[in-house]
């Protein structure tokens, strides 16, 4: 479930006298390719009485062109937006076959469209050396990008730099430090020199405090945080533009909200424009100042595994449930409660039997282990029953079920636990032992042995089913049948006709 946040961003420019503002271009609206849903957006500009024209630049980014007909001593831009932060897998994409391994070249038509994003600056000795050290042996393209992104993050120390503009890649490498925009522009040039189309991206970065501290790696921010940020995007055939953040060494995720993605940094500035004034004397200059305020707040946060309901919320839910129960009881309504909890093996969470398949090699064994632990913890002296469960339409066989039966007063229902078969340690019993048990049970119940009927596999039915399969399908293929049904097929094929699997005991006698 997404966490809904409200982002507030305000920038105030102040002048010591009225000035005439040139048309101002504001690039503070999430770009069309933003993957994080933005459900609310508002832009407020002061002074009032201005003209605002929304348009898109050649790359499709939103920008507001503001015209101020009157002189003013202040200029303010305020953005308020609401975004839904749901986890984004940055590697959730496919590549064209021709681009799965690097080096690769763009097809001619695509390369023509990407020409502005392939333009390179002259490489100085440090950038040239960095380009030269990248191995040209064919490798998975994603692995190459991860390596390059991590390389820049390791080489360049992050610093807050208040000077305007972006450092040249050579200067950033020489200083081994830079702001986010400097690292992003360095990575853009590195990728372009390696033949990959890349663009400079500015946007909002939202980072929320993690519910649980990671077992390894950085702990992340100590409080919810947002700021203007810059990163790089590379064009991959089949995937489109993919974001790389060299400041963190990570791929762009749900917290990266792009505002402008352009071939050059200057055309991605959040606000651009100038002003004019009447000088009072020769050499006169206007004194100006700027203040920036940014904050992010959680406005809707659903319970989740890593942050469940608070104690007061649990108490309120419990009180509501008791109130409902009381009213139902007063009206004579009687209810029973059933449930079908779902469990997943901690050491095999992606296995088919824990996600899609009805049965599997380990599911029943794990269920037996769970039943044994529950019996020890809650049902001492209880009887464990292994039997048939639900039989869903379209499935070959019914499910199985483990049931625990015990008494509330603690009186044991079952004493001889060793007599309950444990398939975790098979005893090797077969048809002969089944016959001995059936005869003993019949004798105890007083049923004549002549009423015992051996049960056989319906071999002809299995052979008919096999005959209907396509010629290129193996009837013992693990993807064809559920594990229990495969075992039955294998038993029929190996033992031949008339394999006895059990006895039926009708409850009627002479």
pLDDT per position as a tens digit, 295-312: 999 999 888 878 888 889
Confidence (pLDDT) at 478: 52
Q: Is the pLDDT of residue 452 over 50?
A: yes
Cα distance between residue 254 and residue 486, in whole Å:
44
Confidence (pLDDT) at 378: 87
Return the beta strands (E) in 188-287 as ranges.
198-207, 225-236, 240-245, 250-251, 256-262, 271-272, 275-276
Cα distance between residue 301 and residue 311, in whole Å:
16
Mean pLDDT of 91-106: 95
Confidence (pLDDT) at 492: 43
Q: Is the pLDDT of residue 367 over 50?
A: yes
Residue 486 confidence class, pLDDT cut points 50, 70, 90: very low
Q: Please tell me which residue, 498 or 395, carries the higher pLDDT value.
A: 395
Contact present, 182 and 168 (Cβ < 8 Å): no
Residue 150 confidence class, pLDDT cut points 50, 70, 90: very high
Mean pLDDT of 30-56: 96
Q: Is the pLDDT of residue 506 over 80?
A: no
Confidence (pLDDT) at 149: 97
Residue 265 confidence class, pLDDT cut points 50, 70, 90: very high
Residue 123 confidence class, pLDDT cut points 50, 70, 90: very high
> Parallel, antiparallel, or unpaired: how do β-strands 72-85 and 3-21 relate?
antiparallel
Confidence (pLDDT) at 346: 84
Q: Is the pLDDT of residue 323 over 60?
A: yes
Q: Please tell me which residue, 420 or 494, carries the higher pLDDT value.
A: 420
Q: Is the pLDDT of residue 416 over 60?
A: yes
Contact present, 241 and 262 (Cβ < 8 Å): no
Cα distance between residue 124 and residue 221, in whole Å:
36
Q: Please tell me which residue, 397 or 20, carries the higher pLDDT value.
A: 20
Q: Among residues 379, 435, 429, which one has the least CA distance to residue 407?
A: 379
Long-range contacts formed by 362-370: CB under 8 A, 24+ apart = 364/400, 364/423, 365/423, 365/424, 367/402, 368/402, 368/422, 368/423, 368/424, 369/424, 370/343
Q: Is the pLDDT of residue 368 over 60?
A: yes
| φ, ψ dihedrals at 475, nearest 5° | -65, -15
Confidence (pLDDT) at 170: 96
Q: Write down the mean pLDDT value for the chain.
A: 87
With a CB cutoff of 8 Å and minimum separation 6, the contacts of 316 are none
Confidence (pLDDT) at 500: 39
3-class secondary structure, 267: helix
Contact present, 231 and 246 (Cβ < 8 Å): yes
Least confident of 35-39, 43-47, 335-339, 427-431: 335-339
Percent of the chain with pLDDT over 70: 92
Q: Is the pLDDT of residue 184 over 90?
A: yes
Confidence (pLDDT) at 313: 87
With a CB cutoff of 8 Å and minimum separation 6, the contacts of 383 are 404, 405, 406, 413, 414
Q: Residue for token digits 């913890």? A: 377
Confidence (pLDDT) at 458: 77
Q: Residue for token digits 């989740």? A: 304
Q: Please tell me which residue, 154 or 395, carries the higher pLDDT value.
A: 154
Q: Please tell me which residue, 92 or 358, carries the higher pLDDT value.
A: 92
Residue 281 confidence class, pLDDT cut points 50, 70, 90: confident
Confidence (pLDDT) at 477: 65
| φ, ψ dihedrals at 139, nearest 5° | -140, 165
Q: Give the DSSP letter string of 227-253.
A: EEEEEEEEEETTTEEEEEETTTTEE--
Cα distance between residue 497 and residue 321, in whole Å:
58
Confidence (pLDDT) at 40: 96
Cα distance between residue 452 and residue 371, in whole Å:
32
Cα distance between residue 195 and residue 363, in whole Å:
50
Q: Is the pLDDT of residue 51 over 50?
A: yes
Q: Please tell me which residue, 461 or 177, carries the higher pLDDT value.
A: 177
Task: Give the tokens for residue 376.
Answer: 């020890």
With a CB cutoff of 8 Å and minimum separation 6, the contacts of 166 are 181, 182, 185, 265, 266
């Amino acid at each position: 479930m997404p966490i809904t946040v409200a982002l507030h961003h305000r920038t105030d420019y102040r002048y010591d006298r009225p000035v005439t503002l040139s048309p101002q271009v504001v690039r503070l609206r999430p770009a069309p390719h933003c993957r994080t849903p933005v459900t609310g957006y508002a832009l407020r500009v002061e002074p009032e009485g201005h003209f605002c024209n929304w348009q898109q630049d050649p790359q499709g980014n939103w920008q507001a062109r503001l015209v101020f007909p009157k002189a003013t001593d202040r200029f303010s831009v305020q953005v308020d937006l609401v975004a839904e932060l749901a986890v984004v897998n940055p590697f959730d994409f496919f590549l064209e076959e021709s681009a799965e391994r690097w080096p690769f070249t763009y097809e001619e038509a695509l390369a023509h469209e990407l020409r502005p994003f392939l333009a390179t600056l002259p490489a100085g000795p440090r950038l040239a050396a960095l380009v030269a050290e990248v191995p040209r042996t064919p490798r998975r393209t994603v692995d190459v990008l991860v390596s390059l992104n991590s390389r820049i993050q390791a080489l360049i120390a992050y610093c807050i730099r208040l000077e305007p503009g972006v450092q040249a890649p050579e200067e950033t490498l020489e200083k081994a430090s830079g702001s986010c925009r400097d690292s992003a522009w360095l990575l853009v040039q590195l990728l372009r020199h390696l033949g990959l189309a890349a663009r400079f991206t500015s946007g909002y970065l939202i980072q929320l405090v993690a519910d649980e501290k990671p077992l390894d790696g950085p702990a992340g921010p100590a409080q919810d945080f947002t700021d203007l940020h810059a990163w790089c995007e590379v064009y991959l055939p089949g995937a489109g533009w993919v974001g790389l953040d060299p400041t963190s060494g990570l791929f762009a995720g749900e917290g990266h909200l792009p505002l402008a993605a352009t071939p050059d940094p200057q055309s991605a500035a959040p606000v651009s424009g100038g002003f004019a004034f009447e000088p009072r004397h020769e050499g006169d200059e206007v004194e100006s100042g700027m203040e920036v305020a940014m904050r992010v707040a959680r406005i809707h946060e659903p319970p989740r595994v890593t942050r469940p309901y608070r104690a007061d919320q649990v108490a309120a839910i419990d009180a509501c449930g008791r109130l409902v129960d009381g009213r139902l009881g007063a009206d004579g309504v009687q209810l029973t409660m059933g449930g079908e909890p779902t469990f997943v093996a901690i050491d095999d969470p992606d296995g088919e039997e824990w996600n899609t398949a009805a049965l599997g090699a380990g599911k029943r064994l794990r269920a037996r282990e769970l039943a044994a632990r529950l019996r020890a913890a809650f049902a001492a002296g209880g009887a464990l029953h292994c039997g048939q469960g639900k039989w869903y339409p379209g499935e070959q066989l019914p499910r199985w079920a483990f049931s625990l039966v015990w008494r509330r007063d603690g009186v044991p229902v079952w004493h001889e636990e060793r007599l309950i078969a444990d398939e975790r340690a098979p005893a090797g019993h077969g048809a002969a032992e089944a016959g001995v048990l059936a005869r003993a049970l019949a004798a105890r119940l007083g049923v004549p042995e002549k009423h015992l009927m051996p049960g056989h596999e319906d071999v002809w039915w299995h052979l008919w089913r096999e005959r209907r399969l396509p010629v290129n399908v193996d009837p013992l293929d693990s993807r064809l049948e559920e594990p229990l049904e495969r075992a039955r097929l294998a038993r029929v094929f190996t033992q031949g006709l008339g394999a006895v699997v059990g006895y039926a005991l009708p409850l009627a006698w002479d």
